[in-house]
Structure 1
């Protein structure tokens, strides 16, 4: 009799353990509301900037693909690491929409905005076969994202109204994008005030000389090596009619060296002009002739070589004759 009871107790414990495991694994089915609230708390605890969450692969698996969700999740796929101007603009527009949603419904948990950096995570790229960025995916409260829940149209990403309208069609929520304050006029007023105020504060500096140096500083900062890098830096985009190819240089030293060359040529050109108009006029005789010759040579040489390097970089040929 004892040998019969022992297996019975053993099999009874096995059945109870299996039942407990089934209850734990089917928690979503048994109590979906509680599980959904846990996911919302997890979303709220994620890093957030301007209303946009930062998601990784583990967060996507848990918060976007799992069942028992009563919220919509918008995931913008792009990168902050590489030089992706379209990603930056799309993220800024999505942040304005997210801030507009928070201003309208500050305590609502029906809609969340997020950013997924494909430089660090790759699962969404492989799963949905994404070939271009920026790309946005809408994970609806129920079901799997369809083709209509995905967007990669650059024209839509460049307009807050169009992107907000697409979100309205997918989620049913009407959002007025947040309008950020524009400080452009204030900056212009500050620059004008500085230019006008400097001669009044420093009386020993004539307005003409000060204006020449201010102009030189503005020209060198706006048209220097830094601006040259901004215009000619990677990625270089080339289209052959069927595909778009993006090229990144293997070394950044070339860009640094080019920036130094262009900065020096701009400095040579503008310094020659300033000295020609400010310094040479105060000299007499042979000194004035030598000053004019040197300053004029600096101006012509600098400007001519700028045109030469422009032709080398762009393939176009502005009118010039190489002097070096």
Structure 2
């Protein structure tokens, strides 16, 4: 994929060399170094110039970045996802449940990356997969995909600076307070490669803000036997919760809510009713077969135009069924 950028130099930037100007546009040193051998990568008024060239008012600086080949080791496959928005620099997708982002030994060709490779292969465009934010395999919702090196570089810096704002919706066990903040450090659980836990001594800072949007009380027609076995859909009641992350630790929402006594419905790692064992890999009689967590809204500044961007993905049907009591 090729992308050409043009900048008209104003009095404010006059006197800067090309290297300084582009660093101010958040080009990384790696991108600038990759441009040096290519005499078409940096042009001023249509003529190739070196990084030390001093820009003048009215100059037109043009840069060119190219991905000549698609991502290696990512096999194109018709994996479904929904496109929410696309322009020359970013792609916003709505990821379904049960779909990992990147291939692994256990799922080499059924991931979002495989689907993205297929999507652009059908257009005849070389494409390198660059997902900016991440979601767990069974978490649904919005993801930012950068379509070129420059947009990826800018968005990654914005993510580190916490300038990409994510809002989630979750369905949690019990009745949460109307609003609050969970400020508890998170670390990898000893003896596990996957599971995380709250750990005051080893954990990294993790802050989650929440707002309860609704509470659904326990079923009134449940028998004592069904309540004791946990087979009813709504044993303790549950809350629809809106969450914003101040930090981005692995499993942060799932760990924080579970630790405070409100695990996500369907969470096979952190909800005791959904824990899976080799003898009982898929518990029966439960209302949802994945954690009820959805990446609902994204807000960020466009990496090239500077425009404020806001996107929203509708809550998926399995979570809607829970809220309807189906």
What is the TM-score with the length of structure 1 in the denominator?
0.26
Larger radius of gyration: 1
The answer to which structure, 1 or 2, has the higher relative contact order (CA under 8 A, 6+ apart) is 2
Superposition TM-score, scaled by structure 2 size: 0.26
Greater strand proportion: 2
